Amino acid sequence: MSQPQHLPDTPRAQHLGDLARADVRWHVYLETTTEGTSAKGRVHFVSGARHRTSGWIFLEWSEQAIYDRFAEFSPAELWKLLESLA
């Protein structure tokens, strides 16, 4: 599988790691944006030409708080989120 790439339609998405199971690998990105006094975030999963995106599931006071919350997700929870987007 290729190396993580920049997501052209989501310039604020940051690559935060990969999920791998057998021969399946997904690059995981977190996109954040601010609106007024709050920040929101959503997760992108990319595997080759496949791209799945969650809704805006994080709402916090700052982008750093979103990254902190994302860090609490286990790989198993990320797999469940990815599978729910199928």
pTM of structure: 0.90
Provide the CA 47 distance to its chain's centre, in angstroms: 12
Q: What is the pLDDT of residue 75?
A: 95
Within a domain: 28: yes
Within a domain: 33: yes
Neighbours of 20 (CB within 10 A): 11
Residue 1 has pLDDT above 90, yes or no: no
Segment 31-55 shows an average pLDDT of: 94
Domain that holds residue 77: 13-84
What is the C-alpha separation between 2 and 73, in angstroms, rounded? 24
Within a domain: 5: no
Segment 8-13 shows an average pLDDT of: 81
